[in-house]
Amino acid sequence: MAGRRAATVLVYRPTEAERFASLVRAPRGVTVHAAGSPAEAEGVIARADVVWGWRVPPALFGKAERLAWVQAMGAGVDWALVPELPPRVVVTRSPGLFGPWMAEYVLAWCLWVTQRVDAYRRAQADRRWAADVVPERLGGRTLVVVGLGDIGRRIARTAAGLGLRVVGVSRSGRPVPGVGRVYRPRALAGAVAEGDFVVLVVPLTAETRNLVDERVLGAMKPTAWLINIARGAVVDEAALVRALAQRRIAGAILDVFATEPLPPGHPLWALDNVVVTPHIAGPDVPEDLARVFNDNLARFLAGRRLRHVVDRRRGY
């Protein structure tokens, strides 16, 4: 990759685009444009060499005549791996930032279940002394982590530190420190059958779309909880609604959905064994994301190899 003296960077984000653009360390010769909508990006995309963004509309990629590199503001890149993005364009992601956040999210909700938080809050609202409601131990339970990338491994380490038994599922099936047993995806049903909690942390690819279907849900314990912090489309949503409504699993903690925001009329809102959070398990911290981008920008301008390059065939 040859070095560059000049480049045009488009920072695309529906919210806070200007704030993110202000964090770009742009040397002389680098022009930075912020866009919060397709209309704002239209006048820049044709001459952009670099896009740093989140959920860039595919139609814009089709107009990106000079584009060489897309840096995703996140660990997931499914939105960028579309036919409209020319094969010449390098895609990079932002790993290593979200694991601590997502580990705390997962374990907090596991404790919410075992500490019977909802029952105590309802009793308080009724001014009732609920001495008959007794908390349960989280230690000794089994957590199944489906996806053992950097986020999944961080969740596994955190869970093991709290005394949970951890089982994993990964494409390679290779051993991971702190994980008692690692299954391959073909044995997913057998893995989830062991879990008191099953957390999904896989990228969305052709192989993982609807990975958790009627068969996998049917293999879970009736007392188990599903936690999805991956992508909504990793789960067959209609099958999940049926399993929850029929109490075939205890409940679900859902941070991601097939359609976001979750439509007001969606049946998941009305189920009392579901927790809905608005895709906040791994919140974006602009300064953290900017460090990853600025490091790669310096590499790009110097003609050096970029870090965190995505294998477009695998989807991550």
Supply the pLDDT for residue 73: 97
> Which among 66, 260, 304, 305 is annotated as catalytic?
260
207 given a catalytic annotation: no
279 given a catalytic annotation: yes
**Mean pLDDT per 10-residue interval, the chain, length 316 residues:** 84 97 96 98 97 97 97 96 96 97 98 98 98 97 98 97 98 95 98 98 97 98 98 98 98 98 98 98 97 98 97 93
Supply the pLDDT for residue 1: 57
Query: At what angle are helices 117-125 and 99-114 packed, to 10 degrees?
Result: 60
Supply the pLDDT for residue 249: 98
* Sign of the torsion angle spanned by Cα atoms 59, 64, 65, 68: negative
The arrangement of strands across the sheet holding 50-53 comes to 30-35, 7-12, 50-53, 69-72, 90-92
Nearest-angstrom CA–CA distance, 290 and 275: 31
> Which among 13, 165, 231, 237 is annotated as catalytic?
231
Amino acid at 9: V
Supply the pLDDT for residue 5: 78
> Which among 4, 116, 266, 279 is annotated as catalytic?
279
Three-state secondary structure of 160-188: HHCCCEEEEECCCCCCCCCCCEEECHHHH
Three-state secondary structure of 234-280: HECHHHHHHHHHCCCCCEEEECCCCCCCCCCCCHHHHCCCEEECCCC
313 given a catalytic annotation: no
